[in-house]
Amino acid sequence: MDGRPTSSEVDRTPLTGRLTIPLSYLIRPTTESPEMPHLPYRELPVAEPGTPDARSAWRFLVWIARQQRGTIAAATACATAWMLSQALLWAAVGGAIDHGIADHSLSQLLTWSGLIVLLGLIQAVSGGLRHQLAVTNWMRATYRTIQVIGRHLSRAGTAITERVNPGDIVNSVGADAPRIGMAYDSLARFIGAIISWLIVSLILLRSSGTLGLIVLVGVPVLALATAPLMRPLHRAQAAQREATGRLAALGTDTVAGLRILRGVGGEDVFLDNYRSQSARVRAAGVRAASPQAALESGQLLLPAILTTLVTFLGAREVAQGRLAPGQLVAFFGYATFLTTPLREVIQYSIMATRAYVGATKVVRLLQIEPAIEDPTEPVSWPGVINELADASSGIRLTRGQLVGLVTETPVEASALADRLGRFDARATGVTLDGVELDRYALADVRRHVIVHDVEPRLFSGPLRDELAPHEHAADDRILDVLAATSALDVLEALAEGLDTLVDERGRSFSGGQRQRLSLARTLLSGADVLILVEPTSAVDTHTEGRIARSLGELRGERIVLIATTSPLVLERLDRVLLVSEGVVVDEGSHEELITTSSPYRQIVLREDT
């Protein structure tokens, strides 16, 4: 085993299209280090992100915090120790001055010097751990957000794409998720800043009531001074996010239709539109920069004001004999240190605002209900499937048979495939061994019933993993199926063979190559039911003939339906169904229907009426 979760350990869900792959297939939750096999390590993202609270942006952010409460608590402890060790270092310096140098006591000087060294070590260790845990929290929150978006997309499907621009979805993954993660990067420092501020204020109150009150009250007052900038920053960042989403959507739509644009000479029109939207994004960024620049400037100016005030008043108390010189040094150090908590509070305000804006967009996606819902009490998937039937259309498919589906239009074939594969939320009456298909868990249906579209998608990643996403098929098995789908020539042209990284959408392959590779992927899936829609439409007739001959050998005991009008494929099938207006009107072998059915000949042989 290579550490990947088995089919019993993960929830396999479709990413896109009709062929399903497990979303968590790309996750190795706990495995062994290749360099040091005996040492376990954990890669991100985690295998199970949990069920998000999508009722509001704040609830979503709180949900993430709960999922990571252990690492957040550890990071907070380290951040507090890191900050307090910086503050108490000045107390130790002051003690060394008053009790060691002023009193001419070597033992006191050595004692306080040792304490300084100890505090320095605590600062170094806690600071390193704090940073590591902060990055861990950032990455976990980011990946967790991406995971819940991906899983919801796989469940909701077209319900999301019909209401949200693809560019907004891309931005939620590429921009909003990292911004949400950054809030948890700085959260521990924010909490540590508050704790250390309270402790230092108490220390100051014991030494000087005036200075202690100034620090205790001054820090929150100065922090609140930045509050008026938060609302404009929030509005400006939200407007920038909207403009960026529209720009990304424009780019996504253009890439998808680039060939059409070139064909009609629309490049200049697109370029002008893209430039205009880019200018809007830049203007929105400038508007967002003004309040953010003011906040970041406050990180320097406001702490400097506090340091100046504390130092001035402390010096007066020394001159009046109420404070020792070492205490003044300590007070100066405290005032200098307090710039760090104040800076962290302001920084966290910026990060939290960005996270809230991002979470608002993410929650909008998560609140879109799936077009197809899971049953409340799903039925267990049967071990062996004997029949898939549709009462509405009259289609009846039995185990071990190759059945063809001939329709008057490709749209009708796709609609029936969606119906049989439970991609049509309105479809009822489809049964599996007499049990309604919508009584099974959607994840089981997606795993065991695969609809192979006329334009299937390839995902990025190693070709071996692309071809066998569910089953860890041996190379010999993969090669056999590639030979059956006439795709060995595609493999032979790749320098790294099955280890070749497939580009996004398989754009480095031709349409026919993508179709053959995706057909091989479908046959390797191990699904019980295969519904293939025009699986050979993009290949030449010689290749189509070879594939048609091989399909019978590879079907095994599965239920296989092939929607096609190709005589080369139809003549190799056990039975062919002729459908008109959504209902089976005739059936038989290809030879029988060619002889007896005029409508069949018109569709398959392109005969004139």
Q: Give dist(CA 176, CA 141) in Å, integer.
A: 11
273 inside domain: no
505 lies in some domain: yes
Give DSSP secondary structure letters for 515-547. Answer: HHHHHHHHHTS--SEEEEESTTTTS-HHHHHHH
The total number of residues written for the chain in this structure: 609
Q: Is the pTM of this model over 0.85?
A: no
> 404 by DSSP, 3-state: which?
strand
pLDDT of residue 203: 76
> How many domains are contained in the chain?
2
347 found inside a domain: yes
Same domain? 74 vs 182: yes
What is the per-residue pLDDT for 262? 53
Same domain membership, residue 597 and residue 534 = yes
Residue type, 426: R
Q: Are residues 106 and 207 in the same domain?
A: yes
Provide the token pair at 335: 């005032």
CATH number for the domain spanning 143: value is: 1.20.1560.10
The first and second tokens of residue 565, run together, are 């009008």
My answer on whether 77 and 210 are in the same domain is: yes
Q: Are 420 and 395 in contact (CB under 8 A)?
A: yes
Assess whether 108 and 222 both reside in one domain: yes
Of residues 259 and 117, more confidence is placed in 117
**109-133 confidence digits (pLDDT tens):** 788 788 888 988 988 898 888 888 8
Note whether residue 371 is domain-resident: no
Same domain, 461 and 508: yes
- Looking at the fold, whether 356 and 464 belong to one and the same domain comes out as no
Looking at the fold, whether 455 and 337 belong to one and the same domain comes out as no
Do 440 and 519 fall into the same domain? yes
pLDDT tens digits, one per residue of 175-230: 888 889 888 888 888 888 888 878 877 777 776 667 667 766 666 666 666 656 55
Average confidence score pLDDT of the chain: 78
In a domain, 38, yes or no: no
pLDDT at 590: 92
H helix or E strand, kind and range, residue 217: helix 209-224
Q: What is the pLDDT of residues 348-383, one digit of tens each?
A: 877 888 888 888 888 888 888 887 878 888 899 888
Query: Rounded CA gap, 446 and 515, in Å?
Result: 20
Is residue 10 in a domain? no
Write down which residue in 332, 366, 400 finishes a domain.
366
Ramachandran region, residue 526 (left: φ > 0; alpha: ψ -120 to 50; beta: rest): left
Q: Are residues 71 and 122 in the same domain?
A: yes
d(CA 234, CA 57): 13
Enclosing domain of residue 519: 387-604
pLDDT of residue 150: 85
Q: Verify that 329 and 410 share a domain, yes or no.
A: no
586, part of any domain: yes
Q: Looking at residue 283, what DSSP letter applies?
A: H
- Which of 102-111, 235-244, 309-318, 592-601 is the most confident on average? 592-601
Let me know whether 179 and 323 are in one domain.
Answer: yes
**Residue 600 lies inside a defined structural domain of this protein:** yes
